[in-house]
Structure 1
Amino acid sequence: MRPKNLSGIFTQKFWWIGSTVIWYSWSLSTLRQYSRGRALRNTETVAILFADIAKSTPLYELLGDARAQSQITRWLSALEDITERFKGKVIKSIGDEVLCTFPNTHLAVNAGIAMHQVLDLMPVEEIAEAGSPNLYVGIHFGRIIKEGHDIFGDSVNVASRTVALAQQRQILVTEQAALQLGPDAVPHIKMVDTVIMKGKQEKIRIHEYIWEQIDLTMMVNQSTETTASTRRLELVTAHGAVVVDQNHPCATIGRQSHNDVVISNQLVSRSHARVEYRWGRFILTDLSSNGTYLLQDETDPRFIKRDEVTLRGSGQICVGGKKDTLPECSIRFLLTSS
């Protein structure tokens, strides 16, 4: 008889044992990684708040890079302190914006109000005429994914897009967030718009939490000297006048009824333009499809579209078309200082 090939048998057995060990090691490593990932990636339902310091870019031109960055850092630090005071967690600061979470919408809204109020007490250092900064605040309530010290998910995206819709000194909340506030908040809630956000099929209702009415009344009653020295700009139409100043830093113009100046014409966009008080200047920003014509300083009409320009002296803002073709869409403006 021919002897068996023992070396071949041993080789096959060692190969099988080695493969088994490798497979077991790989499976154990994969299981550990999965378990570690499960431990680091948790879901939680919270109120997500974005607070964005309004129009900080001109501050760099005013102060220079180093001083402007130092000033913004102080403001962000104050916002982070407010977050912790209202039992929130600061997730991160991004440029001139802070992202944080709260156990519920009630705490998030109260924190948003306190953020506005604390920045009112922190004017730009060394340049008093620049005044205090304003905020955009957006809040959503929903499920997030936590990974390490960061958060992700659709709810974070909705909160981010909500703050992008806000005007200066506004607190905007989604319907999901507003429903968490309860009946006591109803007098403070006003529906602003219904929007379709990028990446979502259903429409989302956006509400404003109105927080400033009582404070502004007290401010006018208690300090006429302060308001008397403030620069102001009047927007005048056939239906009345709207004032923009440091206490009312933004006025919106558009076709929908929620705007401060309503122009009922199909050539006017729903949210067509806005006029803002920004660092001692008045800025006209066009947001429309058809653009805006500006007449000032006795010069030829200037056409702006998705752009901004500084208003000076007096003149006319013509939304949707020129004054001679759409006189009903013309708004007179007058800048005064007393």
Structure 2
Amino acid sequence: MTQTQALAILFADVSGSTKLFEQRGDVEARRMISAVLDALSDVAARHGGKVIKTIGDEIMCTFPGAMNGVMAACDMQRRMAQDIVFVRDNLGIRIGMHHGDTLVEDGDVYGDAVNTAARMASLAKREQIVTTASTLKGLTNVGAIRSRSLGRARVSGKLLPIEIVDVIWQEDTSNITTVQRAIRIDDGGTTEVKLTLRFRGQVIELNENSPIFMMGRDASNALVVDAEWVSRTHATIEFKKGYFVLADRSTNATYLKLGDDEEMRLHRDEVHLRKSGAISLGQAIALNQSDVVYFQCNY
């Protein structure tokens, strides 16, 4: 029987498990990961959670309310940080969660809330809890929970990016970098966020709600650079976590100059765009003057 139920969906996975298998071997790495997942399951149960499934090095849980999920996520991170065995073996986790309506069927859960929670997990880094701003807004007693805005991120199936936050679980926050964003959870205020691109007389403006901007040789790209050294889909620009991010997908790399900094070569990697600069697809900027893309960031 299928029913709709508001639940907090939480994904937690072991950070760096691939390296763990390389260093420790299959048997020992599997044992270590199982120990982590067992510990996370125990924490989830103490907060009224239910383990839906484990997928490799990842655990998926549901909780009856957002507060249950947030408190469980914080305790999961503390459990990892305080366990001598886990610390000795350099084990850590990253967590993503979201509260929303789900379809419950045959002991499993489906729907938009599950997809959103999975996306939050993909954005989280080691020792981090990433959730949606709407999850925290729905809490009635949020005084004990500290968070910081991470800006906005795109989620598959949603037309516009959504506001995401980092839940601060550490009691000592002296070593945590404060991220200041123009968008605040409590009042929803915004300032203009814009990226201006100039290429061969064209002027293109992107904002935080713009779709992923694709550049390359193929005619399907938003910006077509027709040169033999340019890949069909060479690079993309996407607004995520509060910044415009340039990502290279090419064979011959993307060359980037930020302000007065030295030119960098970007290959199958990504970097935050800041201030102003120049982008060249496939060749160094000095060799490719006619096809340089100039940009100006306004955060």
Max Rg structure? 1
Does structure 2 retain, via aligned residues, the 8 Å contact 1:288–1:305?
Answer: no
Q: Distance in 2 between matches of 1:306 and 1:182?
A: 43
Q: 1:271 to 1:194 in 2, by over 3 A?
A: closer
2:77 corresponds to 1:120:
no
Q: Would you tell me which structure has more helix in proportion to its own residues? A: 1
Q: State the match for 1:163 in structure 2.
A: 121
| TM superposition shift of 1:60 | 0.3
Contact 1:123-1:132 at 8 Å conserved across structures: no
Q: Distance in 2 between matches of 1:252 and 1:62?
A: 34
Structure 2: state its 5+ residue gaps: 184-194, 198-236, 256-262, 271-277, 287-299
CA distance in 1, matches of 2:23, 2:182: 36
SS in 1 for 2:97: strand
Residue aligning to 2:14 = 53
Distance 1:74 1:161 in 2: 25
1:175 aligns with 2:124: no
- 1:133 corresponds to: 91
TM alignment of 1:1-338, pairs within 5 A: 40-122=1-83, 128=88, 131-182=89-140, 184-185=142-143, 188-212=146-170, 214-217=171-174, 288-290=246-248, 303-307=265-269
1:184 positional shift: 3.3
Deviations 1:52-78 (A, max 9, x none): 111211000110011101100000000
Mapped to 2, the partners of 1:51 and 1:189 lie a distance apart of 18
Q: What is the rounded CA distance, in whole Å, between the counterparts of 1:162 and 1:271 in structure 2?
A: 12
Contact 2:151 2:240 in 1 (8 A): no
User: How far has the Cα of 1:87 moved from its partner?
Assistant: 0.7
Q: Is the 8 A contact 2:145 2:167 kept in 1?
A: no
Q: Distance in 1 between matches of 2:52 and 2:113?
A: 14
SS of corresponding position for 2:142: helix
The question of whether the paired residues in 1 share the 8 Å contact of 2:12 and 2:94 is answered with yes
How far does the alpha carbon of each residue in 1:272-300 deviate from its partner, in whole angstroms, 9 at most, with x for none? 9xxxxxxxxxxxxxx7325788xxxxxxx
Tell me if the contact between 1:120 and 1:132 (Cα under 8 Å) persists in the aligned partners. Answer: no
The answer on whether the counterparts of 1:122 and 1:132 sit within 8 Å (CA) in structure 2 is: no
**CA offset at residue 97 of structure 1?**
0.8
What is the aligned residue count? 215
Rounded to whole Å, the distance in 1 between the matches of 2:135 and 2:22 is 37
**Contact between 2:78 and 2:169, CA under 8 Å: does it hold in 1?**
no
Deviation at 1:148, TM superposition (A): 1.2
How far apart are 1:257 and its partner, in Å?
8.1
| TM value normalised by structure 2 | 0.60
SS of the residue corresponding to residue 176 of structure 1 reads helix
**Length-normalised TM-score, structure 1:** 0.54
Amino acid at match of 2:80: L
Distance 2:169 2:279 in 1: 33
Work out the CA distance in 2 between the residues paired with 1:207 and 1:146. 26
CA–CA distance in 1 between the matches of 2:78 and 2:284? 41
Q: What is the rounded CA distance, in whole Å, between the counterparts of 2:83 and 2:169 in structure 1?
A: 19
Q: What root-mean-square deviation, in Å, do the aligned CA atoms of Structure 1 and Structure 2 show?
A: 3.8
